[in-house]
Amino acid sequence: MTIHQEGRSLLMVSLIILVIINVAIAYFFPTQAILQTIVLIGSAVIYLLLLQFFRNPKIVVKRDEQQILAPADGKVVVIEEAEEAEYFHQRRMQVSIFMSPINVHVNRNPASGLVKYFKYHAGKYLVAWHPKSSTDNERTTMVLQLQNGLEILVRQIAGAMARRIKWYVGEGDKVQQGEEFGFIKFGSRVDVFLPLDAQVKVSIGDKTKAGRTILAELPKA
């Protein structure tokens, strides 16, 4: 288990602030042992929550060209046929994963291939499960062209708390299934748009693990 690069500076600053607060409490209220204990315990809880959020567990990825892996840890909240209006301009099978603040927030490539299209969109910060969050919120859109020629779309979506999307890929990059392509801070959602004849292997409410859970299987080319 390691700490993700996106959290290292925040964790250092948070630690310094929490130490200063505890030292100040001890200095200005030297006889208030109960207050000092409450602040100390509260500080420890806050810091442990931050550590949990920015954890980056080591995983083993079993790559398979016919399988689409989950791009995020979280819970499946949408499985439906939907119109994809930004790139495909046609109906696709949409699978959406909601990432709560307690989930690992590393985003991983669901398949290997070429980044055919990538775009960042500034936007609103509606709650991640809002129907319009996929089109109105701050988001990124990445289209992967797989080795068999099929294309899938992956969309990072900011939520009410998640106001910083990070990505590490661009158009023309070749990526490997299971490798990191981005990170979203503090609660968010990731949508995947698949061919209509893809066989979805998860159900609403299922928990997913990025780079390990099989989201769908693609039709034979």
Residues labelled catalytic: 188
140 DSSP β-pair partners? 120, 156
- How many Cβ atoms from other residues are within 10 Å of residue 11's Cβ? 16
Compute the distance between CA of residue 217 and CA of residue 139 in angstroms, rounded to an integer: 26
Angle between helices 5-28 and 33-53 (to 10 degrees): 180
Listed residue (200, 202, 168, 208) closest to 184, CA to CA: 168
As a whole number of angstroms, the distance between CA 114 and CA 121 comes to 21
Q: Is the dihedral of CA 114, 73, 182, 152 positive or negative?
A: positive
The CA distance from 80 to 97, in Å, is 12
